[in-house]
Amino acid sequence: MFVHLAAEANAVRIRRAGVRAASRRADGTRGLFCFPVLPSYTLTHGWLRELARSEARRNLVAVQVRLPDGEPVTVGRYGRPPEAVTAAEAVRRIAELPDPRGWEVFVPRAVTPAEVHRIRPVRQSVGWRYWPDAHGIRPCLCERCRVRGEYGSRRLRERRPFHDGGPPPPSRVLLARIEAAGDPGDPAVLREALDCYGRYRRGPVSRLARLSDHPDPAVREALVWAVARWSTPGVDALLDRLAVDPAPEVREAVADLREREID
């Protein structure tokens, strides 16, 4: 008996049609991830809080799946190469582990409705987040690790400075720093402000356009990456101007940016 954690909204479809092979392993094999039903409730549902981070804060349910003992599956700890075994062997290996947190079983096919034993609610506060021993360690707030809208994420970011994963200062603060830097302006101060602007979706293009004439090419290159994600009108014209900049590193930055947009 295995447990597959799924969104509560999919429970009706799973009862009717089974569990789809919606997950994909690194080698491209499609199937579904699950975990053996162990005597410990916490260990059986240990993946719940981590999976909930990527399920847009939806409640999850436990789909209990009964598989034949000889069913071919793979078993292993996440981040490590899995090993091909039978379903019975996967249960035996995980049950014998002193700490099975982070282990997973992959079934390389869909599960039929007849193999779904039951669908039941599960406590949403059980399990680990990030990794099994992450409790007490300051979470990473980089673009890859954080989940937009996750519970408590805004409060966490606001307690951290920008260069330690926190939010960038408001635009009015950045503009005041740029103006205080003088004309043409301290390159270090300008690059730091432009680095903050790189986290914005829109910004004051007209107020920053003058930096395209700054004598330091590093500032002009930083300007390219500052406006790279902006949807503000005038960005394309500014990039066209920087695309013919005398400094090769500035021209290459614009070329790299536009090549990424094509890809």
The structural domains of the chain, with segments of one domain joined by +, span 2-121, 137-167, 169-262
Single pTM value for the model: 0.59
Q: Is 165 or 183 the better-scoring residue by pLDDT? A: 183
CATH superfamily of the 169-262 domain: Leucine-rich Repeat Variant (1.25.10.10)
pLDDT tens across 227-247, in order? 998 999 999 999 999 999 999
Among the ranges given (33-37, 154-158, 236-240, 246-250), the one the predictor scored with the smallest mean pLDDT: 154-158
Would you say 46 and 17 are in contact if contact means Cβ atoms under 8 Å apart?
no
pLDDT at residue 167, as a whole number:
67
pLDDT tens across 206-224, in order? 999 999 999 999 999 999 9
**Which whole number is the average pLDDT over 74-80?**
93
pLDDT at residue 240, as a whole number:
94
Residues 6+ apart with CB under 8 A from 111: 4, 18, 19, 32, 65, 67
Would you say 63 and 4 are in contact if contact means Cβ atoms under 8 Å apart?
yes
pLDDT at residue 27, as a whole number:
84
**Cis peptide bond upstream of 184, omega within 30:** yes
pLDDT tens across 158-169, in order? 666 555 556 678
